[in-house]
Amino acid sequence: MTTESYGALIIGSKIESLKAAYDLATIGHRVLLIEEEEKLQASLEDTEILPSGVRSWYAIHPLLMAVRSHPLVDIVTLSVVDEIRHSKEGFSAFIRNKPYYVDTELCCFCGRCREICPVELPGSLKKAVDCISEKGIPRTFFIDKRKNPPCQKACPLGINIQGYLSLIASGKFREALDLIRESAPLAGILGRICHHPCERQCRRNEIDEPLAICSLKRFVADYELENPCHDSSTEPKERHQEKIAIIGSGPAGLMAAWELTRLGYRVTIFETLPVAGGMLRTVIAGYRLPQSILDKEINTLKEMGIEIITNCPIGKDKKSIGSLFDEGFKAILIATGADVNKNLGLGGEELAGVYDSIPFLKRINLGERPATGKRAVVIGGGNAALESARTLLRLGADEVNILYRRTSEETPGDRNELLLTMEEGIKINYLVTPIRFIGKDGRLTGVKCIHMDLGEIEPDGRRRPVPKKGSEFILDADTAIVAIGQEPELSFIHEESPIRISQHSTIKTNRDYHTEQEGVFAAGDVVTGSATVVEAMGAAKKAALAIHCHLRGKPWRETEDQDETRGDYEPVDPNTPHAFRPLMPVRGIKERRDNFEEVEFGYTKEQAIQEAKRCLQCGICSECKQCEIVCQNVGAVNHSGIKKHTEYRFHAVVSPRPLAEKFVSVLPEERIFCESEFGEGRRLEESLLLGAGLAGRAAAFLTSQMEVIPKDSKKLSSLYKEGVKSGLFICSCNESSGNPDVMNELAKFGAGFDEVVHSEVLPSACHPDGARILAETIEGKGITRVVLAACSCCTLDMICTACNDQRLRCKGNLFNKQGLDPSIFEMINLKNFMATRRNMDLQGVLEGGKNMIECALSRVKFQEKLPGQDGDMAKTVAVIGATLEGLTASLDLEKMGYLVYLTDERDPLLDKDISGEDKLYTPIIEDICERINSGSIVYLPWFQMKALEGHLGNFRIEFLGADQSHLRVSAILFSGVELEKVPLTGNLLRKGFARRTLPGFHSFSPWSTGIPGIFKMMLPPENSFNKKGLPGTAAAAEVAALLQKSEIRTKNIVAQVDQDRCRGCSHCLEACPFAAIEMLGDAIEDRKSSIIEMHCQGCGTCLSVCPTGAVDTIYKTEKQIEELIEVMLR
């Protein structure tokens, strides 16, 4: 929460709001502009064509930029006001803002994030990270993040599936694997044997078929095997001293070990068997998961520092859970899995030829090749059953029958495995269950079976199989394998142990995987009973975090904070072209017999890319974080952005649109500045009027409440010295603006000049660090002239149509934050130079760039000290014409602290006819009279102007009057007066009021008369705008804003007259469009022209008419341009 209090909250960011914000801030009140959308609403989309042919956007753009760069304006976008509260301290607004995931204050708009983003949205050129608007505010990128995709939600390990798919689609296989490894190890294993619950949730199911997520994971893992590179695993952030023991080296144990190692613990795994891998090794056959892959993945874990002690059963040889604690382990995870077969409980199980699946598979997988029969029966429908059947086939069985008591719908086995099993010629008998094993001489000869029907639905959601009476039959068989499920082996847990065991012989744990024994955790099949590899790993991952929390004394929470501000997925387009998975290349069926070689070969590169491209990109941003990598020099992209609630204190609310009822009820009426009656669809002029009017009212109120913040008159460090020591800084815009080689060449070229003492390429000049580097280097090396080749075009504090967010920020950082003196700078827009020469060959670009650098270096030598003087202005205003608007303007100006001379040709305050015209007059006249009596408004009726001359800050009005003959005021506001009849004299004589009457360009203010400091009342065509004297208030705000702004300093662009060379011809006086020249000296021969700096806009028109070259601008002098031409044409 911020402690600073805002004068006004401004809601919305259309032109009205921007105008109000600019005027209020310029008058000296802190303003917070709140916009719901991701950019300010007055933007390029405003394509109203003004009568002059200019698109309105170009007219308002400088206003937009001025608001953006104003030190008293804070802009919050993607924000809404949740609540307004009133407390003793004042009013507070609670504002909720959503993240952009890109820091709008750092983004240099290089666009490399968009360039690298792999997510292309179907049907548009947009990407997940895309720019909001080329010229909008903020000029930045925005990452469109939606809810996590359904596949990722379904994954027990939370792997960022969309992320790796999009990376595969763009050919970044290694990055894809790295992304998988952020969530889980063993990609090569999971890619082969995972039962992929993600694919079931894939939204592509609604169109054709789900993505082959699992096979693609395998592809990237295999890709790494074929194209090995240095390990990119990262060091853990912190290291902890605690040792952790894990019992069991199956998938759960390995997963937990990996996670804990990454968290910084030392992990030891204890394994009973001589080989690590648990079920991965013993149950899953080599034709699905080659031993070499398993070895490779386990080795990777060992390389991370995980110790695996094999042949070390716990519960025997004095090793027990208790003894592990004695050895110094601080936590123990039981991950022994479930590897004891459930008993069928039928007669004849003792016969030779009847095997339990797990010990059977274990023997095979550890290398034994027992003699099995020719006709085999496998009982069960799970993966262990399929595994056993296919193994039997490879051991030489001619016929293998699988018996499953339910239908194919209910089978727990993997669908793909089922297809492969059937493909290999194994018959699956559904709705069949064995009753008894039949044998002869102790050897199995057949299995008596019965057909089943499906009955009622059981509590687990499946239908209970019921035997069909009289359907018994005998299946001849010499081998039978029972694979109806497994349960954990828990003999190592002693009876006196506090660890509780359920009736299904699984370990009971709390929700945080903690058993009843302190420091002992359990996860995987040993807790859940026989399940899948990935579920066991998922549980183990959470258990590992639970252990971490336990050891660090942190509370453990199961669910991650899902950012609820994220939007929903885009609906699936029903017109999406149907496309199916590529066919997986497999080993021929005949070649699969007699050996345990892997059956599936995995996708080829082309197939993988083709398949990955089918992804619908549900979450839009896939969080592959590629953009974070390319942005690391700038550091603007941050995927972990979260929504924020912020409290802001304020005094008033300005809202061009009606304010929500819940706020109106909290706020007193006098603090709400809102004109709801004008509706939408205003013309630019009307919008400006409304904005300024609301600002004027708010300013009048706020001035009574609080002090106006004076503009800080900057004291620039005087770096400007004679003697040229130049520094050349080239901004590479995060290596986007030009070829890095060319940029480096240019820096080298610059360093070759005698006066250049420093030359370097910066990653970003608009970044605060860039400005800091500049400031430090300038100070450290005593640099007196700087050439900054970035995208800023000038060093001036003016804003023109071409300016943008980054350029303003660059200048703001350098000149305001770092306090550098603009006088020593020469800025060239190298970025635009490069962009307009993108079709040229690099040599040509280099030559052009060198020329540009040389020009700038030689030009900066002739840079003169820019003035930047502080001016001071009296707070006096003359309002000529006491119309309704004139009266309201006088009143508002008086409230803002100005001394107002209110004049009129007649005496309207006495005129009863006018006061009867409109009821509105009555209270205003009362107020005015009160102030006239107190002396803060000077009322001059029967006022006849004789002469008007001078300039902004010092106008002199002569008039026919009784006691006073002249007024001196800083500004003049005409209301209801014909400007043609105003008797301009002196420097204003030749000028006259501007003929420009159309709203053409940004500097056009509808209140402008062409002479700075002299305003006219702007009356909108519609009467409705005249409510409550809005035009008067608007004009008052305009006057106050200009006077307040002009207090600061004269512009750095003003012209100067060399008095020795001036011969007083007054050509310049005639040419000057701003009445900025006056002739000094009484006698003709003494006459010299002189610049009124307050008026001078630096256009340089006087230069081109001066016959002696006496006039010159300070910025871009004649000498500099001559130099420029010379170097350019060399």
Binders in 699-758 for another protein, by CB under 8 A: 735-740, 742
**Of 617, 522, 605, 529, whose CA–CA distance to 570 is shortest?**
617
Please list every residue from 354 through 393 that binds another protein, using CB under 8 A.
Answer: none
Output the smallest distance, CB 999 to another protein, in A. Answer: 11
3-class secondary structure, 972: strand
Interaction mask 819-858, another protein, x per CB under 8 A: ----------x-xxxxxxxxxxxxxxx--x--x-------
Output the smallest distance, CB 1008 to another protein, in A. Answer: 11
Q: b vs e for 709-725, b when ≥16 Cβ sit within 10 Å of the residue's Cβ?
A: eebeeeebeebbeeebb
Under a CB-based contact definition with an 8 Å cutoff, are residues 78 and 100 in contact?
yes
Please list every residue from 535 through 594 that binds another protein, using CB under 8 A.
Answer: none
The structure tokens listed for 881 are 């014409």
**Of 111, 67, 77, 138, whose CA–CA distance to 764 is shortest?**
111
Interaction mask 1057-1076, another protein, x per CB under 8 A: --------------x-xx--
Other Cβ atoms closer than 10 A to 981: 7
Output the smallest distance, CB 701 to another protein, in A. Answer: 35
The structure tokens listed for 136 are 């909008």
Output the smallest distance, CB 742 to another protein, in A. Answer: 7
The structure tokens listed for 805 are 């967010």
In the bound state with another protein, the residue whose beta carbon lies nearer, of 831 and 931, is 831
The structure tokens listed for 345 are 């409980």
Helix (H) or strand (E) holding 449: strand 443-457
Helices (H), 812-902: 830-835, 842-860, 884-895
- Residues in contact with another protein, counted by CB under 8 A, come to a total of 79
Output the smallest distance, CB 1084 to another protein, in A. Answer: 26
In the bound state with another protein, the residue whose beta carbon lies nearer, of 42 and 244, is 42
Q: Which residues contact 589 (CB under 8 A, 6 or more apart)?
A: 423, 424, 425
Interaction mask 908-927, another protein, x per CB under 8 A: --------------------
- Give the angle 291-294-297 at the CA atoms, nearest 5°: 150
Under a CB-based contact definition with an 8 Å cutoff, are residues 290 and 298 in contact?
no
Q: Which letter does DSSP use for residue 106 in this model? A: T
1130 in contact with another protein (CB under 8 A): yes
In the bound state with another protein, the residue whose beta carbon lies nearer, of 380 and 763, is 763
Please measure the distance between the N-terminal and C-terminal CA atoms of the chain and give it in whole angstroms: 59
Instruction: Report how far apart, in Å, the C-alpha atoms of 728 and of each of 239, 759, 853 are.
Output: 45, 5, 9
In the bound state with another protein, the residue whose beta carbon lies nearer, of 229 and 1129, is 1129
Give the Cα separation of 602 and 939 in Å (integer).
93
| Single-letter amino acid code for the residue at 546 | A
The structure tokens listed for 124 are 């548009």
Query: Phi and psi of 838, rounded to 5°?
Result: -75, -20
Output the smallest distance, CB 624 to another protein, in A. Answer: 17
In the bound state with another protein, the residue whose beta carbon lies nearer, of 604 and 1104, is 1104
In the bound state with another protein, the residue whose beta carbon lies nearer, of 230 and 1130, is 1130
Q: What is the DSSP string of 210-225?
A: ---HHHHHHHHHHHHH
**Of 910, 892, 850, 930, whose CA–CA distance to 1029 is shortest?**
892
Output the smallest distance, CB 791 to another protein, in A. Answer: 8
Please list every residue from 178 through 197 that binds another protein, using CB under 8 A.
Answer: none
Output the smallest distance, CB 60 to another protein, in A. Answer: 12
- Give the angle 801-803-805 at the CA atoms, nearest 5°: 135
Output the smallest distance, CB 1116 to another protein, in A. Answer: 7
863 in contact with another protein (CB under 8 A): no
Output the smallest distance, CB 102 to another protein, in A. Answer: 13
The structure tokens listed for 522 are 């359990």
Give the Cα separation of 1123 and 851 in Å (integer).
12
Stretch that binds another protein, among 208-216, 594-602, 1087-1095, 1113-1121 (CB under 8 A): 1113-1121
In the bound state with another protein, the residue whose beta carbon lies nearer, of 777 and 851, is 851
Please list every residue from 70 through 109 that binds another protein, using CB under 8 A.
Answer: 109
Output the smallest distance, CB 852 to another protein, in A. Answer: 9
1109 in contact with another protein (CB under 8 A): yes
In the bound state with another protein, the residue whose beta carbon lies nearer, of 73 and 131, is 131
Please list every residue from 230 through 259 that binds another protein, using CB under 8 A.
Answer: none
Interaction mask 106-145, another protein, x per CB under 8 A: ---xxxx-xx---------xx---xx--x-----------
By DSSP bridging, strand 443-457 and strand 432-440 are antiparallel
802 in contact with another protein (CB under 8 A): yes
Applying CB under 8 A, among 48, 58, 346, 927 the residue interacting with another protein is 58
Under a CB-based contact definition with an 8 Å cutoff, are residues 746 and 822 in contact?
no
Instruction: Report how far apart, in Å, the C-alpha atoms of 624 and of each of 199, 237, 563 are.
Output: 19, 21, 17
Give the Cα separation of 449 and 433 in Å (integer).
5
Applying CB under 8 A, among 55, 240, 436, 464 the residue interacting with another protein is 55
In the bound state with another protein, the residue whose beta carbon lies nearer, of 130 and 339, is 130
Q: b vs e for 366-400, b when ≥16 Cβ sit within 10 Å of the residue's Cβ?
A: eeeeeebbebbbbbbbbbbbbbbbbbbbbbebebb
In the bound state with another protein, the residue whose beta carbon lies nearer, of 360 and 1115, is 1115
Please list every residue from 629 through 688 that binds another protein, using CB under 8 A.
Answer: none
Under a CB-based contact definition with an 8 Å cutoff, are residues 1067 and 1054 in contact?
no
The structure tokens listed for 444 are 């199995």
Output the smallest distance, CB 800 to another protein, in A. Answer: 6
Output the smallest distance, CB 1070 to another protein, in A. Answer: 10
In the bound state with another protein, the residue whose beta carbon lies nearer, of 524 and 1098, is 1098
Applying CB under 8 A, among 801, 816, 818, 1066 the residue interacting with another protein is 801
Under a CB-based contact definition with an 8 Å cutoff, are residues 751 and 810 in contact?
no
Interaction mask 1014-1053, another protein, x per CB under 8 A: ---------------------------------------x
Instruction: Report how far apart, in Å, the C-alpha atoms of 495 and of each of 500, 650, 819 are.
Output: 9, 68, 76
In the bound state with another protein, the residue whose beta carbon lies nearer, of 419 and 1125, is 1125
In the bound state with another protein, the residue whose beta carbon lies nearer, of 1036 and 1057, is 1057
Stretch that binds another protein, among 55-63, 282-290, 716-724, 767-775 (CB under 8 A): 55-63
Query: Phi and psi of 942, rounded to 5°?
Result: 50, 50
In the bound state with another protein, the residue whose beta carbon lies nearer, of 381 and 1013, is 1013
3-class secondary structure, 788: strand
Output the smallest distance, CB 840 to another protein, in A. Answer: 6
In the bound state with another protein, the residue whose beta carbon lies nearer, of 507 and 1075, is 1075
Output the smallest distance, CB 1100 to another protein, in A. Answer: 3
809 in contact with another protein (CB under 8 A): no
Output the smallest distance, CB 833 to another protein, in A. Answer: 8
3-class secondary structure, 170: coil
Output the smallest distance, CB 416 to another protein, in A. Answer: 41
Count Cα neighbours of 525 within 13 Å in the Cβ-side half-sphere: 24
Please list every residue from 946 through 1005 that binds another protein, using CB under 8 A.
Answer: 994, 996, 998, 1000-1001, 1003
Output the smallest distance, CB 1118 to another protein, in A. Answer: 7
In the bound state with another protein, the residue whose beta carbon lies nearer, of 50 and 392, is 50
Under a CB-based contact definition with an 8 Å cutoff, are residues 762 and 1081 in contact?
no
